[in-house]
Amino acid sequence: MLQPLPRSVLFRSFLRTFLLQASWNFERMQNLGVLYVLSPALRVFYTDADLREAYHRHMAYFNTHPFMASPVLGATISLEQRRAAGQEGTFGVEDFKSMTMAPYAAIGDALFWGAVRPLAACVALFFAVKGSLLAPIIFLLAFNLPHLWMRLLGFMRGYTLGISVVEIVQRHRLPDLAIRLKEGMVVVLGGLLAYQAVATCRGAGMPAGWGGAALPLVFVFVFFARKGASALLLLSLSLVLLATLFQVVIW
Amino acid sequence: MTFFDCLLAAGVAVLCGLDRTAALQLMVSRPIVAAPLAGLVLGVPQLGLQVGLLLELLWLGRLPVGASIPPDDTQVAVGATFLAATLLPDGGVQPAVVIFCLLIAMPLAKCGQLFDRMARRANDTLSRRAGRSVQSGNLQAVDRMHLIGLGHFALASLLTFVVVAAAGSVLCAILMPSLIGLLEAPAPWMQLVFPLVGAAMILVSINVSRVLTLFSASFASAMLMLWLL
Amino acid sequence: MKLVLARIDNRLIHGQVLEAWVPNIHANCIIVANDEVAQTTMRRLLMEAAVPKSIQVIVNTVEAVAHLLNSAELGDARVLLLFATARDALLAFRAGAPITTLNLGNMHAGAGKLKCSCTIALAPEDIEDLQALEAAGVEIVSQCVPTEREVAWSRMLPKVKGEG
């Protein structure tokens, strides 16, 4: 059994994951970030030429989702520790990193960017519609609880479990969870838009039922968006149409 | 708008801008947070909230995937709030002014993609320099190179904000007198068009099956519920 | 079987493919043609675990994939085909894969490669392979995600020669 890394060193590495993408570049993407996260641990495991070699190893191209990097890098520290002790397993450190980065990027993009963020935003926007300044706070809480959970637990579990951390990610079926959350988000969004449509009609002194017209309008926008129209174009066209309409009415 | 106010807004622009890619990613870079925050430091929180609400709904579905860079919604949010604050210093929300500022800030912030790309290109140099340092045995340099990247991203955010705020102010001064009258009547309806367009954008880009049915059902039942109550 | 997108992407299955392309082209089957991944169980499992279960994933060697695409096995699936390199795409095409257009997504920079755009860097042998594909009638375009503009790869090349 290997002597576990001092907690202070592990914690320093963990804190550094928040700056993983500080030098994101087109050529090797998160390479320096990875080194920045790993270096406190690498300095414990290696000295002199070995340390330089370890640095060289992690200068390679690496890119994944910034939150999902936590389990990968936690496990990488554990693999480096084994390697330093001469107990490397079937998969080398480089193999592990290159194997996990793309699938984990896909999982993180789907879960955090595609699902958690819009869902948290939709819920918070109900407060914004009511003019409550709680909206940003609710959004930040709803987004960051799962975010920080993944960062912290992913990193710690990655270190204690090493390569087996992938089994946990596997077992939770995160891509399917992402789809569920997206479905939930669409439902919340539908409700939010209905509320806004009704509120706009009431504000203009019209019967609330006219708000129902918002739904076919969404379908019109969907039609144009499928044809490749951008959001800015659709907005500008709507504005021109509305402005002309009102000018005609006034005349 | 004092010089100090401008500095504060620029500070918010840089902090929130760094959160986009370079640091933390707590999502203070999202319009729903960045705009009210900018509004708060400028003393017009409700104005910021209104800007954030519209932008967040419009760009709900935008994803930062891989090496492709989405438009800089953070600087649109901060920039539009800044412009609105210069026009409405008392913080009262006038829909026409909010819509006007957003439509000015949105195209201007396209330069953000360019600056962001330049920052990432500049980071290529850092990566290469760090590689040479490792080869020559200077390992300390790697951390330093990495953190210099923060500076590049901060500069990109600052430049984008300055472009939006400066060019936006000029455009506001030129266009405002002739256009604001035209915007007065359609503005409340435009506030509804933003979320409708945003919803359409997310509905065409989401990988959920039968999403239009799900959305329509949810919209219809919410309508009925509001009608009953 | 309908081949809705054939793409070279050295990251194979990742966010751009799943979040941007799959909903845009309504694919319901992703086929990864890569010898190395097909032969490493761990790699294959990780890749499969990144895809929601509503989408079928097939990972196999380039040759087996070319064969599969010509069989009736896929039914009426809408297929997104992924290669890691230009060489694999050429081999699959020669083995009979019905590719008419080829999308260049990510081809990563490396020593001795010419940078064509932020995401595309081509080695001399990549250019040869792509030229061979083009000569055989395959239309080659570069487009990272659907919201970006499509660029014909021939338009990228003169720029490369200029810079190289």
In a 3-state reduction of DSSP, which class is residue C137?
A: coil
Spell out which residues of chain A touch residue C45, defining contact as CB-CB under 8 Å. Answer: 170
Residue A173 has pLDDT above 80, yes or no: yes
Considering only alpha carbons, which residue of chain C is nearest residue A165?
C46
Is residue A51 one of the residues assigned to a domain? Answer: yes
> What's the average model confidence in pLDDT over A75-80?
92
Is residue A190 one of the residues assigned to a domain? Answer: no
A99, A148, C45 from C40: Cα distances, Å: 10, 32, 9
Is residue A191 one of the residues assigned to a domain? Answer: no
What digits encode the pLDDT tens for the residues C74-118?
A: 888 899 999 998 888 888 888 888 888 899 888 886 767 777 777
Spatial distance between the Cα atoms of B200 and A223, rounded to a whole number of angstroms = 8
Domains with residue ranges and CATH for chain C: 2-163 (3.40.35.10)
The ipTM estimated for the assembled molecules is: 0.92
Is residue A145 one of the residues assigned to a domain? Answer: yes
Give yes or no for a contact between C80 and C29, defined as CB atoms under 8 angstroms apart. yes
- Using the beta-carbon criterion (under 8 Å), do A235 and B197 form an inter-chain contact? yes
**Mind telling me how many Å the CA of A151 is from chain B's nearest CA?**
11
What digits encode the pLDDT tens for the residues B133-164?
A: 988 888 888 999 999 999 999 999 999 999 99
What digits encode the pLDDT tens for the residues B157-209?
A: 999 999 999 999 999 989 888 888 888 888 889 999 999 999 998 998 888 88
Mean pLDDT estimate for chain B: 90
Spatial distance between the Cα atoms of B97 and B180, rounded to a whole number of angstroms = 7
C110 in contact with B, Cβ within 8 Å: no
Is residue A206 one of the residues assigned to a domain? Answer: no
At residue B98, what are phi and psi to the nearest 5 degrees?
A: -60, -50
pLDDT recorded at residue C109: 67
Is residue A196 one of the residues assigned to a domain? Answer: no
| Same domain as A230, residue A138 | no
Structure-block tokens of residue A118: 């819009």
What digits encode the pLDDT tens for the residues A221-247?
A: 999 988 888 888 998 899 889 888 888
Structure-block tokens of residue B179: 């256009």
Q: Which of C19, C52, C54 sits opposite B63 (nearest CB)?
A: C19
pLDDT recorded at residue B147: 93
In a 3-state reduction of DSSP, which class is residue C124?
A: helix
Domain boundary among A136, A151, A185: A185
Task: Name the pairing type of β-strands C139-142 and C151-152.
Answer: antiparallel
Spell out which residues of chain B touch residue C22, defining contact as CB-CB under 8 Å. Answer: 207
pLDDT confidence bin for C11, thresholds 50/70/90: confident
Residue B68 has pLDDT above 80, yes or no: no
**Mind telling me how many Å the CA of B192 is from chain A's nearest CA?**
7
- Using the beta-carbon criterion (under 8 Å), do C19 and B209 form an inter-chain contact? no
| Same domain as A24, residue A115 | yes
Residue B70 has pLDDT above 80, yes or no: no
**Chains with ≥3 Cβ pairs under 8 A against B?**
A, C
pLDDT recorded at residue B197: 93
Report the 10 Å Cβ neighbour count for A9. 15
Write out the residue range of the structural domain in which residue B145 sits.
3-228
Spell out which residues of chain B touch residue C148, defining contact as CB-CB under 8 Å. Answer: 68
Domain boundary among A170, A185, A200: A185
Give yes or no for a contact between A11 and A41, defined as CB atoms under 8 angstroms apart. no
Report the 10 Å Cβ neighbour count for A119. 22
What digits encode the pLDDT tens for the residues C117-136?
A: 778 888 888 888 888 888 88
Q: What is the DSSP letter of A60?
A: S
Structure-block tokens of residue A83: 């390697």
- Using the beta-carbon criterion (under 8 Å), do B66 and C106 form an inter-chain contact? yes
Give yes or no for a contact between A79 and A167, defined as CB atoms under 8 angstroms apart. no
What digits encode the pLDDT tens for the residues A187-211?
A: 999 999 999 999 898 888 888 888 8
Residue A176 has pLDDT above 70, yes or no: yes
Half-sphere exposure of C116 (CA within 13 A, CB side): 26
Spatial distance between the Cα atoms of B65 and B67, rounded to a whole number of angstroms = 6
At residue C114, what are phi and psi to the nearest 5 degrees?
A: -95, 130
B57 in contact with A, Cβ within 8 Å: yes
Spatial distance between the Cα atoms of C38 and C55, rounded to a whole number of angstroms = 18
pLDDT recorded at residue A39: 92
Spatial distance between the Cα atoms of C140 and C150, rounded to a whole number of angstroms = 10
| Same domain as A242, residue A140 | no
Residue B91 has pLDDT above 80, yes or no: no
Q: What is the DSSP letter of C154?
A: H
Give yes or no for a contact between C43 and C50, defined as CB atoms under 8 angstroms apart. no
Residue C161 has pLDDT above 60, yes or no: no
pLDDT recorded at residue C117: 75
Residue C163 has pLDDT above 50, yes or no: no
Structure-block tokens of residue A244: 């002309």
**Structural domain tally of chain B?**
1
Q: Out of A114-123, A177-186, B108-117, which region has the weakest mean confidence (pLDDT)?
A: B108-117
> What's the average model confidence in pLDDT over A77-82?
90
Spatial distance between the Cα atoms of B222 and A195, rounded to a whole number of angstroms = 7
Q: Is the dihedral of CA B144, B150, B154, B160 positive or negative?
A: positive
User: Mind telling me the catalytic residues of C?
Assistant: 14
Query: pTM of the full predicted structure?
Result: 0.89
How many A-C residue pairs are in contact by the CB < 8 A criterion?
72
At residue C32, what are phi and psi to the nearest 5 degrees?
A: -105, 120
Q: Report residue B208 CA to chain centroid gap.
A: 26
**Structural domain tally of chain A?**
2
Find residue C59's DSSP bridge partners: C32
Q: How big is chain A, counted in residues? A: 251
Is residue A122 one of the residues assigned to a domain? Answer: yes
> What's the average model confidence in pLDDT over C9-28?
87
Structure-block tokens of residue C94: 């020669």
Residue C73 has pLDDT above 90, yes or no: no
B195 in contact with A, Cβ within 8 Å: yes
pLDDT recorded at residue C122: 82
| Residue C53 CB partners (closer than 8 Å, separation 6+) | A173, A175, A176
| Same domain as A94, residue A161 | yes
Structure-block tokens of residue B211: 């999403």
- Using the beta-carbon criterion (under 8 Å), do A214 and B123 form an inter-chain contact? no
Of B104, B113, B102, give the one whose Cα is nearest residue B31.
B102
Q: Residues of chain B with pLDDT > 90: what percent?
A: 63
- Using the beta-carbon criterion (under 8 Å), do C15 and B67 form an inter-chain contact? no
- Using the beta-carbon criterion (under 8 Å), do B117 and C118 form an inter-chain contact? yes
Q: What is the DSSP letter of B24?
A: -
Is residue A227 one of the residues assigned to a domain? Answer: yes
Write out the residue range of the structural domain in which residue A167 sits.
7-185
| Same domain as A248, residue A171 | no
pLDDT recorded at residue B64: 62
In a 3-state reduction of DSSP, which class is residue B143?
A: helix
C148 in contact with A, Cβ within 8 Å: no
| Residue A65 CB partners (closer than 8 Å, separation 6+) | A104, A105, A107, A108, A109, A112, A113, C15
